[in-house]
Structure 1
């Protein structure tokens, strides 16, 4: 029986003849018998990419890299595809850095890693890679030009207002009803500082008000990730999970974390109690409602919620429990100014 390597060599001859359709057909048939032959997956990725079938190209590039995770060719093909075609710079960068661990003097990879850091606005990181190229090839004009561009950009930016100054000027827009202008101004701020958490939170609020819930969630998550200690950011994300996404358990986890640092937060105690009710964890709900009454004996929301639970229990669980009080009213979230 002919070995798989001999069969593969025959397929390579077909590909060398520039017969793409025959090459794709032969490789697909080959992989039906040898599904873990990484070179065939890589070649299929290349052929499908050249044919414009990016979905299948992605599948086979990823499969090849998974089967041989230390193969620099497979990793580079996948990284190039992520960066150039899918717009996934961070995932591409992770692969390029992996390549550089085994081949630290790969000029092409050093340069593209620098470019990705520039696109991520991590300019100091980019300089490290461009300077590394010049250490290896002092005559490399590309690296020298990119370094000069970075230096010129940083000099120009140094006279521009700081993110804090920009945000202060945006605050009047946040107080008004012109959401479009406020959104544009906040987006410009993030171009200057992509990790400015206040802007991400406020964009989440504004996009929610505009009905763009996907963008709202993106910015709520970014704000909460950048400043996990900020209660407002955490509440906004938890509220969105609970009210809009139906991710009750995820919301509950955030509320519980808030209470760990702020055990007397009335609003969070109440909403946590409501979520426990929606999960039919009535004893847990009582704990939170009673805690509210310990802090604020006059709190009508907690009192009414406990009364409903008592009525339900007196009925012997024979009636359907009305948990409508546990449904939180839609809210856009809280601004940070």
Structure 2
């Protein structure tokens, strides 16, 4: 029987994490990582700890783990601005996925037009895609907001003295100047974002004009190469396919399998997680990711999370039951292992491997 602590509500879990943040040793990333991972064993459905882990892993040079944590935080709480900014910045800076970063940040900026961190990112990205005019507009808006914050700070300092009062007119003048100068940027924000997206659309159009095989034909060719055990050519074909169709989950899944065979676990993880992100309903993609987590990366908790979620949806899935039996046995949870493998034998009485596994427990 499991005695894992389960929070009564998400609100309780979030409060528990706020208390932990007050106690964490932020000066020591390694210690803080351990503290957060311990917390997540009890409260695995809270997004912000994964986001914080992403920041910490990035600081210690664990880029792959950082990306995985940002992605997981975004899956749990997809509308959180802080998480989106961190993930988009990682895409932009570490992976060079400028298109993805643009789409994420422009959508976010529509909702939060005065977010200074967002504006800074948009300045950098606008220059990256050759939109210097838009970069200057974002930079202008950023300067205005910073000046406004500085003016508000000055007013608060002055308010300490009874002699300083709005009679001087300073706060009103500051607001009028800000409104007058920022109106063009604010009024045209959607136009500015549309022009940046237009650059993205133009790049996509240019790629489409280049002669290339259809995605279906490329995937068929890759399957033929796999059948012929020509993994090197299959890898090249699938990489060409995901260049044309970055959201092709089937291709990403197959690339994950191929990279696992070659021992390139970093690329395998990237492609398996992309496959699940692009098609989260596909059970095969989820199983492959869970298997990679457990068998190759030692990330048992994350594998268990995927398997148990699948088991709730598909209680008679023999592969999931077998995987949970193996993990339970490896962790000396014999009773749980017998329970899972026993269910496999009920579903498949002819399954000799399951019977041998049970006899060995």
Match of 1:101 in 2: 113
Tell me the residue number matched to 1:42.
none
TM-score by length of 2: 0.48
Unaligned runs of 5+ in 2: 1-58, 60-84, 132-187
Which of 316, 332, 340 is 1:280 aligned to? 332
Measured at CA, do residues 145 and 202 of structure 1 come closer, stay the same or move farther in structure 2, by a change above 3 Å?
Answer: closer
The 2-side partners of 1:185 and 1:298 are apart by 39
Cα distance 1:205–1:252, how it changes in 2: closer, same or farther (>3 A)? same
CA distance in 2, matches of 1:272, 1:247: 14
Q: Which of 296, 299, 311 is the equivalent residue of 1:247?
A: 299
Moved more, 236-245 or 93-102: 93-102
Q: How big is the shift at 1:251?
A: 1.4
TM-score by length of 1: 0.51
Closer, same or farther in 2 for the Cα pair 1:279/1:169, shift >3 Å? same
Contact kept, 8 Å, 1:293 with 1:302, in 2: the verdict is yes
Query: How large is the RMSD of aligned CA atoms in angstroms?
Result: 4.3
Shift in alpha-carbon separation, 1:155–1:240, aligned structure 2, 3 A: closer
User: In the alignment, is the contact (CA less than 8 A) between 2:105 and 2:122 conserved in 1?
Assistant: no
Contact 2:250 2:275 in 1 (8 A): yes
Q: Confirm or deny that 1:220 pairs with 2:268.
A: no
Name the CA shift for 1:150/1:298 in 2 (closer, same or farther; >3 Å).
Answer: closer
- Which ranges in structure 1 are unaligned for 5 or more consecutive residues? 1-54, 56-75, 119-131, 137-141, 310-337
Task: Give the aligned partner of residue 175 of structure 1.
Answer: 227
Deviation at 1:94, TM superposition (A): 6.0
Match of 1:232 among 284, 297, 302: 284
Q: Contact 1:200–1:222 (CA<8 Å) still a contact in 2?
A: yes
Q: CA 1:167/1:273 → structure 2, altered by over 3 Å: closer, same or farther? A: same
Q: What's 1:62 paired with?
A: none
**Superposition deviation, residue 297 in structure 1:** 2.3
In the superposition, relative to structure 1, how do residues 110 and 211 fare at CA in structure 2: closer, same or farther (>3 Å)? closer
Relative contact order, CA 8 A, sep 6+: which one is greater?
Answer: 1
Aligned length: 213
1:112-127 aligned within 5 A: 112=125
1:270 alignment counterpart: 322
The CA deviation at 1:249 is 2.1
In the other structure, the counterpart of 1:199 is 251
Return the alpha-carbon distance in structure 1 between the equivalents of residues 115 and 293 of structure 2: 44
Query: 1:296-337 CA deviation, whole Å, 9 max, x = no partner?
Result: 22333333333333xxxxxxxxxxxxxxxxxxxxxxxxxxxx
Secondary structure, in 3 states, of the residue corresponding to 1:241? helix
| Larger Cα-atom Rg | 1
Per the TM alignment, residue 215 of structure 1 is displaced from its structure 2 partner at its CA by 0.8
* Residues 255-309 of structure 1, C-alpha deviations (whole Å, 9 max, x = no match): 2222223222223212211111222222222211221121122333333333333
Q: Distance in 1 between matches of 2:215 and 2:285?
A: 19
Q: Call closer, same or farther: CA 1:254–1:303 in 2, change over 3 Å.
A: same
Q: Which residue of 1 aligns with 2:71?
A: none
Take 1:231 and 1:144, find their aligned partners in 2: how far apart are those partners?
33
CA distance 1:98–1:280, shift in 2 (3 Å):
same
* Separation in structure 2 between the aligned mates of residue 113 and residue 263 of structure 1, nearest angstrom: 49
